[in-house]
Amino acid sequence: MPKKKILFLCTGNSCRSQMAEGFARALTGGQWEVSSAGTAPAGVNPRAVKVMAEAGVDISGHTSKAIDLDLLNSVDVVVTLCGDAAESCPVTPTGVRRIHWPLPDPARAAGTEEEITAAFRVVRDEIKERVTALQRELAD
């Protein structure tokens, strides 16, 4: 059976899509071909790296990437992780399944360092749950 190709997209490819890519790689054990990208790549957020390390997933070697149209047209599933309407998630090609996870951008969290890190953890945990559910769904 060919591997499912999954692409996680958000605006900066710095937090949510990077965490989703990391969990998808870790949880599927190579069963999926996983990528992430953004409409305006902004570099991987150090707090995303930190909270993923807490969860046992190393994304420190990830890089922030722009959307590759060839890849976008060749995947089975695109998961968009844009949280609010002000963000610009791209249109996906016909025939590619699109799933939307409307998660807040933890990079926009305000407050003390503890409060901001807590916002990253909340989003991280939600992404892990959603990736796990997607894994079960696609295995059927």
- Which residue numbers are catalytic? 10, 82, 89
Q: How far is CA 119 from CA 109, 110, 134, in A?
A: 7, 9, 23
Cα–Cα distance between 78 and 57 in angstroms, integer?
22
* 83: enclosing H helix or E strand: none
Residue with tokens 């953004």: 38
**CA-derived radius of gyration, the chain:** 14
Q: 37 pairs with which residues across the strands?
A: 9
